[in-house]
């Protein structure tokens, strides 16, 4: 029930999302620098209308998910224009249907402010990441400055109604889920951050190390509609131009 | 195990280098080698400055006009704050496509809270500031905020590097 509400909120926001997020002029170079760290099989969580796709490094194979169908339909033209392969799928970040250790890189961009249970989502990212897989996040968080923190708390009073919280501590949430934060760079003060993290050594256990870039065969391409592909018209049209993915 | 630790250490170093590269791209850091980036950064700083001054002046004038209604002090101050915040929100939404949503909203919200408070405080002190004085108050609060954001941004770059976890070598 809650999931349906979240999806419908984002379906509604898809109409004017591009206007609100049209700050590429300012954030674009920082996004591009962060996304250069994409390696191997990439999962992009919360692709939205695809505003981040132009900043992806060319030639990658990227599985991009979002909870909203309308967002994904809007992302189709950008996915088609990408010089590589972007596969758009409808999925919930808190309940990924991918097998364990199936991605080398998980990427989020202004996503963890909107996922209802961020720690659970991070645990899912950890599960689908290969040992020593990397997590790249372009996220906004609560400022540690009291004055700026207060303004973000106030903004959250109304942004929460549309599914976004401006005052989350995403770094702590990632650590709670067992990620090792390897670097944090300021994009705007301590509010918008470019974060790099890896699965902790403890989480790796005794599984042998796999270098980023090596991909397995857990995902395979198929011409048929797969388990996680929305077969409605918009997404099917989009999928024709790239690949339809099913789980092996 | 040692191999994993070594690899994690290498990855951390590589991420730290990439992080430094990100910081160079950030609006709050200077990169003397790339004129384009520097020019871009200066343009955004100029935009931030102009925007904050606009918000400061507009919100202060609105607060000043509310005081002209002649209501009792407390409801007047509350209404002045609400009106100033409404004006700030509208201006921030308009500026968001160019300056960024959070980049424009967060600092300007403080300006829109602080400058009407100053106007209210002046009224509480028994003074009747002219519209020109109100404009000067708004502009001064905005300039103070701009300077704060600039220096706080610089301190953030070094403070955030400490967030990275040291992996034992």
Query: Across all residues in chain A, what is the average pLDDT?
Result: 77
Q: Please report the pLDDT score of residue B136 as a whole number.
A: 93
For residues A100 and B145, what is the distance between their CA atoms, to the nearest angstrom? Answer: 48
Q: Domain ranges for chain B, please list them.
A: 48-166
Q: Is A185 part of the contact surface with chain B (CB cutoff 8 Å)?
A: yes
Give me the total of CB pairs closer than 8 Å, taking one residue from chain A and one from chain B. Answer: 145
Share of chain B above pLDDT 70, in %: 75
Going by C-alpha positions, the residue among A75, A57, A55, A56 that lies closest to residue A65 is A75
Instruction: Please check whether residue A122 lies inside any domain of the structure.
Output: yes
For residues B30-56, give the mean pLDDT. Answer: 81
Looking at the domain assignment, is residue A40 inside a domain?
Answer: yes
In this predicted structure, which of A69-83, A125-139, B24-38, B62-76 has the lowest mean pLDDT? B24-38
Q: Report if residue A1 sits inside a domain.
A: no
Phi, psi (degrees; rounded to nearest 5) at A223: -80, -20
| Closest CA in chain B for residue A25 | B98
pLDDT in the model for residue B110: 93
Contacts with B96 from chain A: Cβ below 8 Å? 19-20, 22-23
A22, A190, A196 ranked by CB distance to B97: nearest: A22
Q: Is A39 left (phi over 0), alpha (psi -120 to 50) or beta?
A: beta
Residues of A within 8 A of B100 (CB-CB) are 23, 26-27, 188
Any domain includes A103: yes
Give the chain A residue nearest B47 (alpha carbons): A26
A90: left (phi over 0), alpha (psi -120 to 50) or beta: beta
| Full domain range(s) for residue A41 | 6-246
In-domain check, residue A232: yes
Q: What is the pTM of this model?
A: 0.77
Give the per-residue pLDDT at B17: 59
Q: How many domains does chain A have?
A: 1
């Amino acid at each position: 029930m809650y999931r349906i509400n979240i999806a419908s909120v984002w379906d509604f926001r898809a109409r004017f999302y591009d206007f609100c997020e049209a700050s590429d002029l300012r954030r674009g170079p920082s996004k591009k620098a962060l996304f250069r760290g994409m390696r191997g099989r990439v999962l992009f969580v919360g692709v939205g209308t695809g505003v981040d796709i132009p900043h992806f490094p060319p030639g990658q194979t990227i599985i991009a998910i979002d909870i909203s169908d309308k967002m994904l339909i809007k992302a189709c033209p950008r996915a088609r224009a990408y010089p590589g392969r972007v596969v758009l799928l409808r999925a919930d970040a808190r309940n990924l249907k991918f097998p364990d250790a199936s991605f080398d890189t998980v990427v989020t961009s202004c996503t963890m402010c909107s996922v209802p249970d961020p720690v659970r989502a991070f645990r899912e990212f950890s599960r689908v990441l290969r040992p020593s897989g990397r997590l790249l996040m372009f996220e906004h968080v609560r400022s540690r400055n009291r004055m700026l923190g207060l303004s973000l708390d106030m903004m959250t009073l109304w942004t929460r109604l549309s599914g976004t919280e401006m005052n989350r501590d995403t770094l702590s949430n990632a650590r709670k889920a067992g990620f090792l934060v390897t670097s944090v760079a300021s994009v705007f003060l301590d509010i918008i951050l470019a974060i790099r993290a890896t699965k902790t050594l403890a989480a790796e256990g005794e599984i042998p190390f796999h270098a980023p870039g090596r991909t397995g065969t857990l995902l395979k391409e198929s011409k048929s509609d797969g388990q996680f592909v929305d077969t409605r018209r918009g997404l099917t049209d989009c999928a024709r131009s790239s690949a339809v993915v099913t789980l092996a | 195990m040692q191999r994993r630790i070594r690899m994690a250490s290498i990855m951390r170093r590589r991420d730290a280098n990439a992080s430094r590269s990100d910081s160079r791209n950030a609006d709050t850091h200077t990169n003397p080698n790339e004129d384009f980036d520097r020019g871009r950064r200066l343009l955004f700083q100029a935009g931030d400055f102009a925007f904050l001054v606009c918000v400061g002046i507009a919100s202060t004038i609105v607060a000043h006009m509310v005081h002209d209604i002649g209501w009792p002090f407390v409801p007047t101050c509350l209404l002045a704050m609400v009106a100033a915040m409404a004006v700030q929100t509208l201006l921030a939404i308009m500026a968001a496509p160019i300056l960024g949503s959070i980049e424009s909203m967060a600092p300007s919200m403080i300006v829109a809270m602080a400058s009407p408070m100053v106007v209210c405080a002046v009224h509480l002190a028994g003074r009747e500031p002219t519209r020109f004085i109100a404009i000067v108050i708004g502009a001064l609060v905005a300039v103070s905020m701009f300077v704060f954001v600039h220096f706080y941004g610089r301190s953030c770059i070094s403070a955030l590097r400490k967030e990275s976890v040291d992996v034992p070598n």
